[in-house]
Amino acid sequence: MKMRTTLLVFSFFLCGIAPVCAQSPMSDEAMHGTDPQTTVATVDNKVCPVTGKKIPKEDLGKYGIEYKGKIYNLCSEACKGEFMKDPDTYAARAEESVAKTQARQSEESGEMPDNLSGMEDGPLMDETDNGPAD
C-alpha cells in the first residue's frame, strides 16, 4: 500500500510538472515578473544578419535568437554569439532585409508597401518634374 501511494504521488507530480517543462524557456523579464504578458514576434528574416547568407527554408527558425521581444533567424549556431556582440546592429540589418523584401514583393504585385500607405496625398509631379501635373 505504501509503495502504491508513493507511486500515485509521484505520478501526480510528473503530470503537474510535464506541461511546465514542455513550455519554451521564459525570458528574464517574464521570470522576474517585470513583464508577465510578454509576447514574442518573429521577424521572419530569410537572410542571416550576421553573415549576409540566405537561410535555407529547412533552417528557418532553427537558429533563432530572441532580442527585445523579437526572434531573429540566423544561419548557424555560431552566429548567435556574434549577434549578441552587437545586437542592435544585427537586429536592424534583419529588419531592413525584411522591409526590402516586402517592398520588392509589393512592387512586383503592384501593391503599395505598408510603410507608404499612410503618406499624405500631395500634388503629383509630371514626368518633366516642372511642377504639379494638371
Total Cβ atoms within 10 A of residue 65: 21
First to last CA, the chain: 95
Q: Tell me how far apart the alpha carbons of residues 4 and 24 are, in angstroms, rounded to a whole number.
A: 33
Q: What pLDDT is stored for residue 108 in this prediction?
A: 85
Strands 65-67 and 41-42: unpaired
**Average pLDDT for consecutive 10-residue bins of the chain (134 residues)?**
54 49 48 55 94 94 94 95 96 95 87 54 44 50
Q: What is the DSSP letter of 72?
A: E
Q: What is the structure's pLDDT at 24? A: 47
Kindly state the cell numbers that stand for 4.
Answer: 502504491
pLDDT of 39 reads 77
